[in-house]
Structure 1
Amino acid sequence: MKVSMTSGTIDFLSKLKSKHPDASLFFMQDQDKAIAYCEGEKSVFEEGREYETVDYVGNMKPEGYVVMNNIPVADEGRPVFEDRFKNRAGNVENREGFQAIRILRPLQGNTYVVLTQWRNAQDFEDWKNSQSFDDAHKKSGPKHKKKPSFIDGDAYITKYHMVDVES
Structure 2
Amino acid sequence: MNAYMTNGTLDFLRKLPDKHPDIDFYFMRENASTLVYYESEKKSIFASGRSYEVILQNSTLKDNGFVVMNNIPVADDGKATFEDKFKQRRQNVESMPGFQAFRLLRPKKGNTYIVMTQWASEADFENWKNSDQFKQAHKEGSNVKPPAYFLDRPFVTSYRMIDLEETDQTN
Tell me whether the two structures share a fold, i.e. TM-score over 0.5. yes
Q: What amino acid maps onto 1:14 in structure 2?
A: R
* TM-score scaled by length of structure 2: 0.93
Question: 1:146 maps to what in 2?
Answer: 145
- State the aligned residue count: 165
Question: 2:133 maps to what in 1?
Answer: 132
Question: 1:63 maps to what in 2?
Answer: 64
TM-superposed CA distance for 1:54, in Å, is 1.4
Q: What amino acid maps onto 1:160 in structure 2?
A: Y
Q: SS of the residue aligned with 1:27?
A: strand
Q: SS of the residue aligned with 2:151?
A: coil
Question: 2:10 maps to what in 1?
Answer: 10
Q: SS of the residue aligned with 1:36?
A: strand
TM-superposed CA distance for 1:17, in Å, is 1.1
Question: 1:21 maps to what in 2?
Answer: 21
Q: Superposition RMSD on alpha carbons, in Å?
A: 1.1
TM-superposed CA distance for 1:166, in Å, is 2.9
- 1:118-138 Cα offsets, whole Å, 9 max, x none, are 000000000001110000111
CA contact (8 A) 1:30 1:161 kept: yes
Q: SS of the residue aligned with 1:145?
A: coil
Distance 2:91 2:130 in 1: 16
Q: What amino acid maps onto 2:78 in structure 1?
A: G
Alignment of 1:39-118 (within 5 A): 39-42=39-42, 43-118=44-119
CA contact (8 A) 1:55 1:85 kept: no
* TM-score scaled by length of structure 1: 0.95
CA contact (8 A) 2:13 2:36 kept: yes
Structure 1 runs not aligned, ≥5 long:
none
Q: What amino acid maps onto 2:12 in structure 1?
A: F
Q: What amino acid maps onto 1:60 in structure 2?
A: L
CA contact (8 A) 2:91 2:134 kept: no
Distance 2:133 2:120 in 1: 18
Distance 1:127 1:105 in 2: 24
Distance 1:90 1:131 in 2: 10
2:160 equivalent to 1:161: yes
TM-superposed CA distance for 1:59, in Å, is 0.5
TM-superposed CA distance for 1:117, in Å, is 0.2
CA contact (8 A) 1:28 1:160 kept: yes
115-124 or 38-47: bigger deviation: 38-47
Distance 1:91 1:71 in 2: 20
Distance 1:90 1:132 in 2: 6
Structure 2 runs not aligned, ≥5 long:
167-171
- 1:56-88 Cα offsets, whole Å, 9 max, x none, are 101001000000000000001001111122112
Q: SS of the residue aligned with 1:44?
A: coil
Q: SS of the residue aligned with 2:165?
A: coil
